[in-house]
Amino acid sequence: MVVVMLPRRLFSAFLQASRRLATSPTTDGGYPKTEGAWPDDRWRSFLLPSRAHFASNCNTVVASRLQERTLIAVKPDGVQRRLVGEIIQRFEQRGFKLVGMKLIKASEDLLREHYIDLKRKPFYPSLIQYMNSGPIVVMVWEGYNVVKTSRLMVGATDPAEALPGTIRGDFGMHISRNVIHASDSVEVADREIGLWFSSIEMTDWECCTQSNIYSG
């Protein structure tokens, strides 16, 4: 009898807990809000990681995303066409933080290294020549999800396909003169920032509008 009753009680406790979990309000992360929703808190600790553990993991992820960085460069055509101010303004207004910036005429060696993944493409030599034809403004921007968001702000590689409202969609005409560079992944951003900037060329600073841009 005990053998039959125990699994039944276990099963019914589990069933009640699942029903309450399914109907209880949740936070953004899906963790149940109400501490008392479970019939017995021992089940909670057995089945789920603690609330503190969950919250601290989320905070760590959010904090690291807030400090994500990307490399943005206004290419020679963008500098010649006086688009530097307009481009900086778009990133500032979006809420990103400028942590590094310089105007340079990049060496061919640096440009070859930067575009190393494209070295077998037929346009590689003309790309290096174009990027070496005049000064460029290289920047490091920081903020939540900055890599992905800046790619959206920049638009498709070919300005003919870039949507209006994107930088390439508003200012570009041809794929060989597409105004701006933006890193395309967090890993690539790390590599490119390391290539173009030394750590003393970047500045960490407290943004006094932080709480108006991010919550918590």
> For ligand IDP, which stretch binds (CB under 6 A), given 49-57, 58-66, 170-178, 208-216?
170-178
DSSP H helical ranges for the chain: 2-23, 41-47, 51-66, 76-80, 84-94, 108-114, 124-131, 146-154, 167-171, 186-196, 210-213
Q: Using the rule CB under 6 A, is 181 a contact of ligand IDP?
A: yes
Q: Is 181 known to be catalytic?
A: yes
Q: Site for Mg ion (CB under 5 A): how many residues?
A: 1
Asked if 39 and 13 count as a contact pair (C-beta separation under 8 A), the reply is yes
Examine residue 149 and tell whether it contacts ligand IDP (CB under 6 A). Answer: no
Residue 181 phi, psi (nearest 5) = -115, 145
Interface region with Mg ion, contact rule CB under 5 A, candidates 27-35, 39-47, 137-145, 180-188: 180-188
- Smallest gap from residue 176 Cβ to ligand IDP (A): 4
- Burial (Cβ within 10 Å: 0-12, 13-18, ≥19) of residue 192: buried
User: Measured between alpha carbons, how far is 196 from 95 in angstroms, rounded to an integer?
Assistant: 23
Residue nearest to ligand IDP (CB): 157
Q: Look at the alpha carbons of 100, 101, 102, 107 in this order and tell me if their dihedral is positive or negative.
A: positive
Give the type of residue at 99.
Answer: V
The reply on whether position 129 binds ligand IDP by CB under 6 A is no
Q: Does 176 bind ligand IDP (CB under 6 A)?
A: yes
Q: Which residue shows structure tokens 């307009």?
A: 86
Partner from ligand IDP, Mg ion, none binding residue 181, C-beta < 5-8 Å depending on class: ligand IDP
**86, 113, 170, 184: which one binds ligand IDP (CB under 6 A):** 184
Residues carrying an active site annotation: 181
Instruction: Enumerate binding residues for Mg ion (CB under 5 A).
Output: 184
Instruction: Enumerate binding residues for ligand IDP (CB under 6 A).
Output: 118, 123, 127, 157, 175-176, 178, 181, 184
